[in-house]
Amino acid sequence: MDAFYVTLALLAGACAPTQAGINSQLRLFTQDPVLAAFVSFAVGTIALLLYALVLQISWPSFQVFVQLPTWLWTGGILGAFLVVVTVILAPKLGAATMLALMVAGQMATSLMLDHYGLIGYQEHPMNMWRVVGVLFLVTGVILLKRF
């Protein structure tokens, strides 16, 4: 495994609880989890636009966007749902429990996506060891919540 990609994954992982905490604090000012998520997405959208402009990334034609399968537009909806839910859950569950539950959900879903080779993932059949790994994560969630 390339150390650069491992480092990127670890940094992205560190962003998740940090972003959830920041957005939960933003909720105190906006008085609504949806508005807090909206502000977060707006800032992120502006940052991505500036990044694309600075790198002079060429945009595909409008026709490319029109021809996209409808289901490809759901990624933004899933992202919005994720951010709103973390705004709600972070102050109630704490960072460790919230992220442990999210990782358990991510792993269970990942097993299915890999097993069936869905939405562009390579097929990696489910086996006992992969399931045991998810069960260890669930056990970790229980331990985090209990202690």
pLDDT at 146 (0 to 100): 82
**pTM for the model:** 0.83
How much is the pLDDT for 138? 83
Contact 80, 117 (CB under 8 A): no
21 by Cβ neighbours in 10 Å (0-12 / 13-18 / 19+) ranks as middle
Task: Render pLDDT for 54-89 as a digit per residue (tens, 0 to 9).
Answer: 999 999 999 999 999 999 999 999 999 999 999 999
What pLDDT is recorded for position 122? Answer: 94
Residue 104's pLDDT is 84
Beta carbons of 41 and 83 less than 8 angstroms apart: yes
What is d(CA 48, CA 3) in angstroms, rounded to the nearest whole number?
25
Domain ranges of the chain: 1-93, 94-147
- Reported as half-sphere exposure (CB side, CA atoms, 13 A), residue 144 has a value of 18
Amino acid at 138: V
Determine the pLDDT at residue 137.
Answer: 83
Res 28: pLDDT: 95
CA–CA distance from 121 to each of 4, 5, 55, 112 (Å)?
21, 18, 28, 10
- Residues of the chain below pLDDT 70: none
Residue 125 phi/psi, 5° resolution?
-55, 145
